[in-house]
Each structure stands twice: as structure tokens, then as C-alpha cells.
Amino acid sequence: MGKAGNWFGPLGGILFVAAVFIAIAVSGEFDSEPSDPAAKVLAEFREKADDIQIAGLLTMLGIGFLLVFVGHLRTKFRDGGAGWASDGFLAGGVILASAWVVLTGVELAGGVAGEHGHAEVAQGALDFIWEGVYIFSPGLLAVGIAAAVVSFTYRTLPVWLGVFGVVVALGALAPWVGIFVFVLWVLAASIVEFIEVLRPATAADVR
């Protein structure tokens, strides 16, 4: 690597992670559970409505940065001869981004419902937030398998990131954990890529 401008791909991954963690810090976790009375759920959405909007905006921006990072890695994998694995990684990344958009949109809808007193909508939003997390599973599986293949077979990434990728793939079975593992994988891969991009060009790079 070493071409001018390639630094933005890894930076996109770092900005995605930063946006996710800041969004979590802003909105916090929900105390309500699907089995709670609708009035309690509605009250919590009403109380957190402003924080949900801020966190939602941060998350949506973060998703855009995630897509930049996914595009960066897909190009690197393809140039390294990874073939189908590069396409699988891209597809998995897009699925994860889409799932994040859906979940964030539902949470935003719940916040609006809380402000306007729509108890049934708020209850439905909370139900989806609790149970809809499985929409992340296909993306986690695809990204994790692709990361492992390009690391073990093509050595396009360090082997330890491939092992990390296996853990991401296993996270598809428990996506509420897998999402967190994926975010940590993105952070680790972004740092590795950023260091590689900033590395002084060698004669091999120039050729």
C-alpha cells in the first residue's frame, strides 16, 4: 500500500468505532423489558427521546464510515487474490450496515412514539430491539468467514485477525455478543491498516 489517500479507509473504521461507543454512552441501555407494562416502556422512551435522536445520528454517521472501511478492505482483499472472499466480506459488511440502520431506525421510532404518547409503537419498538438483533447474524457470519479465509489462505491480513474473524463468525449464534466482537475486530483491523498505510514506501511498493 502506501498510495496517498489510502489512509481514509482505515480512518473510516476508527471513526465508526468511535461513533458507536459515543452513541452507546449517550443513549445508554434500556431498563425496560418486553414483559414490562406499556406505560413504563413509553415513559422510558419519552425520557430518552433526545438522547436517542443524538445517538441515532451518531450511529448513522458511523455506519457511513463503516462502509468506507469495508470498501477499503474489499479492495485490498481482491488485489491480494482473495476472489470470492473479498465479495463475501463486502456483502457481509453491507448486511451488517443495513441491520444497524434498521435497528437504529426502530429505536428512533420508539423515541418519537414516546414523545407523542404512542404506547403500542413504543412497546413494539422495544420488542424489536430485544429480539431483532438476529438480523445481524448473516453479516457476522459472512464477514467472519471471509476475514478468516483471507488471513489463513492469502495472508492479506495478520493470522491473528483471522482467528479474531472466527470469533466474529461464531458471534452469529449470539449476535448481542457478536456485534461487540465485530466492533472490536474493526478497531483492531483499522489500526493494523492505518499503520500499514503510514509505513514508508519500499522499493517493492513502488514497483
pLDDT at 204 over 60: no
User: What is the 8-class DSSP label of residue 132?
Assistant: G
Nearest to 141 by CA among 161, 167, 163, 103: 167
Nearest to 179 by CA among 188, 170, 190: 170
pLDDT at 206 over 50: no
Question: Mean per-residue pLDDT for 178-192?
Answer: 97
As a whole number of angstroms, the distance between CA 32 and CA 42 comes to 9
* Tens digit of each residue's pLDDT (9 = 90 or more) over 61-92: 999 999 999 999 999 999 999 989 999 999 99
Would you list the DSSP string of 136-164?
A: GHHHHHHHHHHHHHHHHTS-SS-HHHHHH
Instruction: Give the pTM.
Output: 0.90
Question: Mean per-residue pLDDT for 170-175?
Answer: 97
What is residue 91's predicted lDDT score, i.e. its pLDDT? 97
* Tens digit of each residue's pLDDT (9 = 90 or more) over 113-153: 999 999 999 999 999 999 999 999 999 999 999 999 999 99
- What region does 39 belong to: left with phi over 0, alpha with psi -120 to 50, or beta? alpha
* Tens digit of each residue's pLDDT (9 = 90 or more) over 46-61: 999 999 999 999 999 9
Crossing angle (nearest 10°) for helices 159-170 and 175-198: 160
